[in-house]
């Protein structure tokens, strides 16, 4: 098997292959043109290396759209209180996680993190006078160190211009939002450039190959990488 990385192009198509050994899908794949986004000129173009997934309802293949992790921003950059909480899991499951910044209503309270049902409860530290003293940076560190919370989310106080060095305000239990599942599970890569402007197209695709990651037309995140490796597509 030849694993040499090549830098040539075949015609107008970028050579994405890290090996000459690859397996093509028998009969090709029918691409659902209605699922292909048009560019500024109205053309529906897909590049070689585009990940595709099969839609059992339509019986066609469509471009993979990456899933999104749910998240929530507490505080603000301007006030230097920004705290970003992001679910570890991709998809809508993260939308069910809640975070509460609780004022313990007592003096000299220590910062503490606990889990109550679907809510990560951060009991904020207070001064001798009962004022909240916990900063976003301290809260992020506490969440990321908590045995259970760190399995659900990752917290960061480094948000834009904010480093989270100012004491935060209490916040009621608030759900993370924006988590979305992948449209289709990616399982093949296009083996040619395809123009779907005029309708559905049948194209060649591979389900086993070695590819040069930097030349694919999409960003390979950990979700996509795992899905493609599972079907036999590896990376040079």
**Structure confidence by residue, pLDDT tens digits, 6-15:** 333 434 689 9
DSSP letter (8 states) at residue 228: H
Whether 144 is in a domain gets the answer yes
User: Residue 58: which CATH number?
Assistant: 2.40.300.10
Tell which of 130, 145, 175 closes a domain: 175
User: Nearest Cα to 76, choosing from 178, 164, 172, 154?
Assistant: 164
- What pLDDT does 12 receive? 63
Does residue 85 sit in the same domain as residue 114? yes
How many independent structural domains does the chain possess?
2
Does residue 79 sit in the same domain as residue 144? yes
Query: CB 68: neighbour CB atoms within 10 A?
Result: 16
pLDDT band at 226 (very low <50, low <70, confident <90, very high): very high
Does residue 18 sit in the same domain as residue 98? no
Q: Does residue 2 register a pLDDT over 60?
A: no
Whether 73 is in a domain gets the answer yes
The Cα 86–Cα 221 span in angstroms is 16
Whether 143 is in a domain gets the answer yes
Whether 148 is in a domain gets the answer yes
User: Could you give the residue ranges of the DSSP H alpha helices within 105-178?
Assistant: 136-145
Q: Tell me the CA distances in angstroms from 64 to 50, 98, 231, one per residue in order.
A: 8, 29, 15
Share of the chain above pLDDT 70, in %: 95
Rounded to an integer, the average pLDDT of 200-215 is 97
Rounded to an integer, the average pLDDT of 154-178 is 97
pTM for the model stands at 0.80
Does residue 123 sit in the same domain as residue 221? no
Does residue 58 sit in the same domain as residue 90? no
How buried is 12 (Cβ within 10 angstroms: 0-12 exposed, 13-18 middle, 19+ buried)?
A: exposed
Q: Does residue 23 register a pLDDT over 90?
A: yes
Q: pLDDT (tens digit, 9 = 90+) per residue, 63-85?
A: 999 999 999 999 999 999 999 99
Element (H, E) at 222: helix 222-231
Under DSSP, is residue 231 helix (H, G, I), strand (E, B) or coil?
A: helix
- What pLDDT does 213 receive? 97
Domain ranges, residue 170 = 69-175
pLDDT band at 4 (very low <50, low <70, confident <90, very high): very low
């Amino acid at each position: 098997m030849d694993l040499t990385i090549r830098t040539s192009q075949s015609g107008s198509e970028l050579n994405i292959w890290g090996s000459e050994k690859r397996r093509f899908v028998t009969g090709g794949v029918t691409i659902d043109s209605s699922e292909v986004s048009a560019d500024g000129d109205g053309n529906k173009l897909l590049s070689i290396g585009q990940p595709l997934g099969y839609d059992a309802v339509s019986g066609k293949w469509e471009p993979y759209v990456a899933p999104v992790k749910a998240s929530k921003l507490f505080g603000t950059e301007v006030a230097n209180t920004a705290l970003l909480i992001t679910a570890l899991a991709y998809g809508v499951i993260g939308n069910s996680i809640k975070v509460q910044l609780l004022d313990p209503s007592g003096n000299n309270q220590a910062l503490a993190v606990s889990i109550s049902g679907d809510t990560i409860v951060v009991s904020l530290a207070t001064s001798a006078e009962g004022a909240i003293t916990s900063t976003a940076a301290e809260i992020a560190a506490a969440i990321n160190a908590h045995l259970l919370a760190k399995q659900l989310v990752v917290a960061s106080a480094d948000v834009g211009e904010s480093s989270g060095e100012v004491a935060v305000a209490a916040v009621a239990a608030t759900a993370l939002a924006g988590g979305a599942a992948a449209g289709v599970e990616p399982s093949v890569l296009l083996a040619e450039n395809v123009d779907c402007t005029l309708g559905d197209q049948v194209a060649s695709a591979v389900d086993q190959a070695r590819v040069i990651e930097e030349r694919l037309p999409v960003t390979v995140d950990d979700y996509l990488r795992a899905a493609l490796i599972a079907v036999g597509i590896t990376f040079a």
